[in-house]
Amino acid sequence: MAGAGQPGRSAASIVAIVGGGVIGAGWAARYLHRGADVRVFDPDPEARRKIGDVLANASAAFEMLFGVAPEAGRLSFHATLAEAVADAEIVHESVPERLDLKQRVHADIAAAAPADAILCTSTSGLLPSKIQEGLERPDNLIVAHPFNPVYLLPLVELVAGQGTAEGVIDRAATILDSLGMKPLKVRKEIDAFIADRLLEAVWRESLWLVKDGVATTEEIDDAIRYGFGLRWAQMGLFQTYHTAGGEVGMRAFIEMFKPSLHWPWTKLMDVPELDDALIDTIADGVEEQARGLTARDLERQRDKNLVGILHALKANNWGAGTLV
**Which CATH number belongs to the domain containing residue 208 in this structure?**
1.10.1040.10
- The answer on pLDDT for 2 being more than 60 is no
Is residue 322 situated within a structural domain? no
CB-based contacts of 308: which residues, under 8 Å, 6+ apart? none
Helix (H) or strand (E) holding 92: strand 90-93
Q: Is residue 148 located within the same domain as residue 237? A: no
- The answer on pLDDT for 109 being more than 50 is yes
Q: Is residue 210 located within the same domain as residue 180? A: no
Q: What is the pTM of this model?
A: 0.90
CB-based contacts of 264: which residues, under 8 Å, 6+ apart? none
The predicted-structure confidence for 14-27, as pLDDT tens digits, reads as follows 999 999 999 999 99
Is residue 231 situated within a structural domain? yes
Q: What integer is the mean pLDDT of 134-149?
A: 95
Is residue 305 situated within a structural domain? no
Amino acid identity at 100: D
Q: Looking at per-residue confidence, does 283 or 175 come out higher?
A: 175
DSSP character at residue 47: H
- The answer on pLDDT for 126 being more than 90 is yes
Q: Is residue 28 located within the same domain as residue 175? A: yes
Is residue 310 situated within a structural domain? no
What's the domain count of the chain?
Answer: 2
Is residue 41 situated within a structural domain? yes
Q: Tell me how crowded residue 177 is: count the other CB atoms within 10 A of its CB.
A: 17
Strand-pair partners of 121: 93, 143
Whole-angstrom distance, CA of residue 298 vs CA of residue 217: 16
Helix (H) or strand (E) holding 75: strand 75-77
Q: Following DSSP, what letter does each residue of 197-220 receive, concatenated?
A: HHHHHHHHHHHHHHHTTS--HHHH
What pLDDT sits at residue 62?
Answer: 93
47-66 vs 22-32: helix crossing angle, rounded to 10:
50
Q: Is residue 134 located within the same domain as residue 256? A: no
Q: Which range, of 5-9, 28-32, 241-245, averages the lowest pLDDT?
A: 5-9
Q: Is residue 178 located within the same domain as residue 211? A: no
Is residue 120 situated within a structural domain? yes
Q: Is residue 256 located within the same domain as residue 180? A: no
CATH number at residue 26: 3.40.50.720
Work out the pLDDT band at 111, boundaries 50, 70, 90.
Answer: very high
Cα 239 to Cα 125, 202, 258, 315, 319: the distances in Å are: 26, 19, 17, 20, 12
Is residue 63 situated within a structural domain? yes
- The answer on pLDDT for 211 being more than 60 is yes
What pLDDT sits at residue 3?
Answer: 43
Q: Which range marks the domain in which residue 254 is found?
A: 196-292
Q: Is residue 240 located within the same domain as residue 287? A: yes
**Mean pLDDT of the residues in the chain:** 93
Work out the pLDDT band at 5, boundaries 50, 70, 90.
Answer: low
- The answer on pLDDT for 288 being more than 50 is yes
DSSP character at residue 94: -
The predicted-structure confidence for 256-274, as pLDDT tens digits, reads as follows 888 887 888 888 878 888 8
What pLDDT sits at residue 294?
Answer: 87
Q: Is residue 160 located within the same domain as residue 254? A: no
For the stretch 266-273, contacts whose Cβ atoms lie closer than 8 Å and that sit 24 or more positions apart, written own/partner, are 266/201, 266/205, 267/204, 267/205, 267/208, 268/201, 268/204, 268/205, 269/204, 270/208, 271/204, 271/207, 271/208, 272/207, 272/208, 272/211
What pLDDT sits at residue 261?
Answer: 76
Is residue 164 situated within a structural domain? yes
Q: Is residue 120 located within the same domain as residue 267? A: no
| Percentage of residues of the chain with pLDDT beyond 70 | 98
Q: Is residue 53 located within the same domain as residue 178? A: yes
Q: What integer is the mean pLDDT of 18-40?
A: 96
- The answer on pLDDT for 323 being more than 70 is yes
- End residue of a domain, out of 137, 160, 185: 185
Residue 83 region, left (φ>0) first, then alpha (ψ -120 to 50), else beta? Answer: alpha
- The answer on pLDDT for 1 being more than 50 is no
Nearest to 114 by CA among 253, 260, 13: 13
What pLDDT sits at residue 249?
Answer: 86
Q: What integer is the mean pLDDT of 250-255?
A: 86
Q: Is residue 160 located within the same domain as residue 215? A: no
Report yes or no: 119 and 144 within 8 Å, Cβ to Cβ.
no
Top-ranked range on mean pLDDT: pick from 52-61, 233-242, 270-279: 52-61
- The answer on pLDDT for 47 being more than 60 is yes
Residue 229 region, left (φ>0) first, then alpha (ψ -120 to 50), else beta? Answer: alpha
Q: Is residue 98 located within the same domain as residue 218? A: no
Q: Following DSSP, what letter does each residue of 253-305 receive, concatenated?
A: HHHHHGGGGGS----TT------HHHHHHHHHHHHHHHTT--HHHHHHHHHHH
CB-based contacts of 2: which residues, under 8 Å, 6+ apart? 8, 66, 180, 323, 324
